[in-house]
Amino acid sequence: QSALTQPASVSGSPGQSITISCTGTSSDVGSYNLVSWYQQHPGKAPKLMIYEGSERPSGVSNRFSGSKSGNTASLTISGLQAEDEADYYCCSYAGSGTYVFGGGTKVTVL
Amino acid sequence: EVQLVQSGAEVKKPGESLKISCKGSGYSFTNYWIGWVRQMPGKGLEWMGIIYPGDSHTTYSPSFQGQVTISADKSISTTYLQWSSLKASDTAMYYCARQGLSGSYFVYWGQGTLVTVSS
């Protein structure tokens, strides 16, 4: 069970859109529409941003959206804002009651 | 209000045992899976395992199977993560997190417990 692959860093200017990819395998991301995304600011606990691939929890800005194609899930942040600067992690169900996280992506707002 | 409150920071020596806790409140404790997540210093999140407090059914990541034990005491709405013999490489922040209504994602997170293992 290997970690999902995310880019180490992504950056963008305020107002721009950025996309973070999360690549797994046919045993995890590709088999289930059960990818979730978490935002983590330094020294804080993670916060759920997207679940079941594209669903947004109550209270999460609609600037955050999720999608999936094949073995790759994606998180898009539109209208980038300074407060979006954080680490982002994807997580997928991997069968047999197990889950796997991605390595994390540091988002920098230029 | 749903809350997960974890036990405080621990400093231990290699070879010592440890049990940290995560107490749930504001919801029906026995009806939701709770997972444990490790974050080593400066590193990413790692899924360790998960427990259903209703019947204590537990599933572990292959990476953590045999290295830790996850348990629950539903009478006090608390789940535990324990080690029998700590290693320096167990130094990390540990989070508990409760799944959502339809499962597969972690909605509520504890504040984290920092475990430091050093001689």
Q: What are phi and psi of A12, to 5 degrees?
A: -165, 160
- Tell me the nearest-neighbour CA distance from A105 into chain B, angstroms: 9
Residue B63 near residue B43, CB atoms below 8 Å: no
pLDDT category, B2, cuts 50, 70, 90?
A: very high
Residue in A with minimal Cα distance to B102: A52
Q: Which of A45, A102, A104 sits opposite B110 (nearest CB)?
A: A45
Segment A1-50, tens digit of pLDDT: 789 999 999 999 999 999 999 999 999 999 999 999 999 999 999 999 99
Residue B81 near residue B48, CB atoms below 8 Å: yes
Task: Look at A53-62, B64-73, B99-108 and tell me which has the smallest mean pLDDT.
Answer: B99-108
Collect all residues of chain A within an 8 Å Cβ-Cβ radius of residue B50: 97, 99
Collect all residues of chain A within an 8 Å Cβ-Cβ radius of residue B46: 3, 101
Collect all residues of chain A within an 8 Å Cβ-Cβ radius of residue B92: none
